[in-house]
Structure 1
Amino acid sequence: MAAEHAAMADLKARGWQVLLHRARTRWGEIDLVALHGSCLVFVEVKARPSLLAAGEAIRPGQVSRIMNAARYLCAANPDWVYDSIRFDVCAVLPGNTIEWIPDAFRQF
């Protein structure tokens, strides 16, 4: 939870608009949903000892659940205005260092 709050503070400091925190759906939870310009960004937050460990923590099953939850949230929030969608990973490393993996995964 502390890692999610650190990620949220970082997003807000960058001027992003945080739309949802811990968005729960029947497919699972999305840690953060934010708007960056006209891009809707679904963020998975991982508190890990390294950026590599954070990236490796995202498994294919989790990617599927996140994408299904994102589809549901987009349908449930028709008032959201965006031109594109992206899936990022936010790694919260020791010392509360924040590293981003933008466009970490996608569905084709």
Structure 2
Amino acid sequence: MQDFGQRTRRLIRGRRAEASGRDAEGIAAVALEREGWAVLARRARTPAGEIDLVAERDGLLAFIEVKARPSLSEAAFALGPRQRARLVAAAECWVAANPGRGAAGMRFDVVIVAADGTARRIADAFRLGD
């Protein structure tokens, strides 16, 4: 029975994390729209993985990873090298499937969201090859 209890606790934690992630993505999307960005996709699925948000403003295309943590400082360090590589690969797939976007360039942003709903965007957070 202990194994069942552990699985149940993991399932509950996973559902809470999923809900928290969706809430954080909603906060990030609203903040981007306030800044004049058009959100083109939310949770865009590609063969290489999922992109939290894809947004465009004045021809600049941004692939955005949203990180929700108890504090902004914890969220700022939540995007590791493997996740960056996955995001780059997913962005390549998205661009291939959506030609004509990003005439002014492309970049990778990170939006960090604290438990209190405070959000900060790190524009051009990393580049190809980082």
Task: Please tell me the TM-score bracket, short chain as reference.
Answer: over 0.9
Indicate whether 1:49 and 2:49 are aligned. Answer: no
Return the TM-score normalized by structure 2: 0.78
Q: Deviations over 1:49-76 (max 9, x none)?
A: 2333222111111101100010111111
Q: Comparing both structures, which one devotes a greater share of its residues to strand?
A: 1
d(CA) in 2 for partners of 1:45 and 1:58? 9
Q: Deviations over 1:21-77 (max 9, x none)?
A: 000112110000000222100000011123332221111111011000101111110
* Long gaps (5+) in structure 2: 1-21
Partner of 1:95: 116
**Corresponding residue SS for 1:23:** strand
1:82 Cα shift? 2.2
* Long gaps (5+) in structure 1: none
Partner of 1:16: 37
Return the TM-score normalized by structure 1: 0.93
Structural RMSD (CA) = 1.2
d(CA) in 1 for partners of 2:102 and 2:66? 23
1:81 Cα shift? 4.4
The alignment of Structure 1 onto Structure 2 pairs a total of residues equal to: 108
**Corresponding residue SS for 1:19:** strand
Q: Comparing both structures, which one devotes a greater share of its residues to helix?
A: 2
Which has the higher Rg, Structure 1 or Structure 2? 2
**Higher relative contact order by CA 8 Å / sep ≥ 6: 1 or 2?**
1
Partner of 2:104: 83
Partner of 2:27: 6
Identity %: 47
d(CA) in 1 for partners of 2:76 and 2:42? 21
